[in-house]
Amino acid sequence: MSAAAFLQFLALLLLLAITVPPLGRYIAKVYGSEPDGKAPGDRLFLPIERGAYRLMRVDPDSEQRWNAYALSLVAFSLVSSLVLYGIMRLQAHLPWNPTHVQAVSPHLSFDTAVSFVTNTNWQSYGGENTMSYLTSIAGLLVEHFASAAVGLAIVIALIRGITRSRTAYIGNFWVDIVRGTLRILLPLSLLFAVILGSQGVIANFHGFVSVKTVEGVTQLIPGGPVAGWVSIKQLGSNGGGFFNVNSAHPFENPTQFSNFVELYLTVLIAFALAVAFGVLVKDKRQGRMVLWIMAALWIAGCLFASFAETNGNPRLTALGVNQSISANQGGGNMEGKEVRAGVSSSAVWGASVTLTSNGSVNSMHDSWTPAGSLVLFFGMFTGEVSPGGVGVGLMGLLVNVLFAVFIAGLMIGRTPEYLGKKLQSRETKLIVLYLLAVPAVLLGFTGASMFVGSVLHTTIWNPGTHGFSEILYAFASAANNNGSAFAGITANTQWMNTTLGLTMLVGRFFLIIPVLAIGGSLARKPKIPTTSGTLATHTPLFGGLVVAVIVIIAGLTYFPAMALGPILEHLSL
């Protein structure tokens, strides 16, 4: 990592250290008060919220059991998917289509609708050439907000289950998504849309504009409401780009400063939720422990990715090529990288968007070294908990914390307890279901795809280990609701669109529903007093145990597949 890149990374850490604590406390106040209680911004937001509740015919004072909360979430997601699917299928006949794009195919519409509703934002299409402005704004952009708000609601429901006692209720889904959207996502996205717009991220409603280049040829320049799209894309861990090449496009990411801001937004809310957790459970030590686990894994991933990509290909190193590049350009593996930002900045971005569920790209992951790509795989295989996506990152980390408590309980011969709640067979079975759902669908569809003729002959562009890595990465991205791609494959086929869509559904709902069940089960339990035998869950020792559990589970589950892909590819160099 060059000195300039290292200083930029330190500046990012400093900015996060300054802004994460107050944002976390604000989030805790937004969700910690009753629907009509006192929270920041009540004078502005409460009248709007009451109007939304009347429109939805929701009683903000009533709460739901975990199963009703889950049914509301599934119903909301199902209707959202159907509406988005219909818009894409009919967009050729709908207004606000200045580029005259045609209807999206049925299997691509299914894949894209599921992708955006599940906060995956996997894109088997080029945005500027496929979607109308109506589809982009009334469909996809709305889901940027809605799917992020759902993630916030889920983790808050789980925290309520941990903090409440002898109750069957964990909140109101409709109140939670309204509050999250109106009080957190909208204000922040509007603020940063203005900041990004000042850097040259475009914001217009033009179609394609025909211009003559300096070489004298005609070129079509795309337009669009990109600044607002990019701010919520990064802030909500969505990652879906307005343009085909995402944040590698100069209209989405034009300057070094815009690159820095977008990277900052990628991890902001996820880290802030750790602080909010400490406030809501009334034990800030617990929040700090969770925050340090997130930060340690994230920083380690960023530094290792930067080291691997700066050193580049060992075959070129043997010829002295990488040293020459490193001396002149501050980088090693420049292929597919953001040239303006440099190798290290692209490496930090790639590590950050796979350790979260963001999935946006400012470099082509397919061109990373095998060693560097291990960080990308690691981020997704660990469930994107460091810091993870908006809401679902903390959710996944808390499940791993509960599992670590269970393991520790077995080691010392005690019934495991976490924050005054005993973990018994029901919670343990739900945790195991959570941990097995993603590997089952990810490895299952990856293996099945290697026997499908269309995948072997038309989907994979690169033979051998790298081609296998591309397929493994695609299903890892879909199963963990990440959305980034290795590229190098033709994903817009009936097999890939269908199986990736099903994988995204499992990766979203087969995790969220067990977590809500865990929250509901814990909420019914009485709180038990702390004794001398209670495991301290705020100490560095316990934090190390959680990290070990995360790494060991990922290693045991995915090492055989990794050995056939990036590990073998690295050894072959």
101-121 confidence digits (pLDDT tens): 999 999 999 999 999 999 999
15-29, 304-318, 432-446: which has the minimum mean pLDDT? 304-318
Please state, in angstroms and rounded to a whole number, the distance separating the CA atoms of residues 507 and 514. 12
48-62, 77-91, 508-522, 523-537: which has the minimum mean pLDDT? 523-537
pLDDT of residue 374: 95
* Residue 562 CA, distance from chain mean position: 22
| Bridge partners (DSSP) listed for residue 229 | none
Contact of 40 with 29, CB cutoff 8 Å: yes
Express as a percent the part of the chain with pLDDT over 90: 77
Written as six digits, the tokens of 400 are 């791993």
- In sequence order, the 6+-apart residues with CB closer than 8 A to the CB of 77 are 117, 118, 150, 508, 509
Q: Where are the alpha helices (DSSP H) in 118-241?
A: 127-130, 133-134, 142-163, 173-179, 186-198, 226-235
Q: Is 70 exceeded by the pLDDT of residue 34?
A: no
Instruction: Please provide the average confidence, as pLDDT, over all residues in the chain.
Output: 91
- Which of the 8 DSSP states describes residue 138? I
pLDDT of residue 220: 87
Angle between helices 186-198 and 226-235 in degrees, nearest 10:
130
**In degrees, to the nearest 5, what angle opens at C-alpha 482 toward C-alphas 476 and 485?**
65
Mean per-residue pLDDT, 50-71: 95
Q: Is 80 exceeded by the pLDDT of residue 339?
A: no
Confidence of residue 498 (pLDDT cuts 50, 70, 90): very high
pLDDT of residue 327: 40
Taking alpha carbons only, the member of 151, 152, 154, 127 closest to residue 141 is: 127
Q: Identify the helix (H) or strand (E) that includes residue 272.
A: helix 256-280
Please state, in angstroms and rounded to a whole number, the distance separating the CA atoms of residues 142 and 150. 12
Q: Is 80 exceeded by the pLDDT of residue 394?
A: yes
- Cβ-based neighbour number of residue 525 at 10 Å: 19
Written as six digits, the tokens of 457 are 């002959």
Going 132 to 133 to 135 to 136, the CA torsion angle's sign is positive
161-197 confidence digits (pLDDT tens): 999 999 999 999 999 999 999 999 999 999 999 999 9
What is the β-pairing status of strands 209-212 and 218-221? antiparallel
Q: Is 80 exceeded by the pLDDT of residue 133?
A: yes
Burial of 453 (0-12, 13-18, 19+ CB in 10 A): exposed
Confidence of residue 328 (pLDDT cuts 50, 70, 90): very low
Task: Compute the CA torsion angle 316, 322, 323, 324 (nearest 10 deg).
Answer: 110
Alpha-carbon distances, residue 479 vs 14, 81, 376, 503 (angstroms): 33, 18, 14, 5
Written as six digits, the tokens of 527 are 């709180």
Please state, in angstroms and rounded to a whole number, the distance separating the CA atoms of residues 90 and 133. 13
pLDDT of residue 319: 56
Q: Is 50 exceeded by the pLDDT of residue 35?
A: no
Express as a percent the part of the chain with pLDDT over 70: 96
pLDDT of residue 330: 45
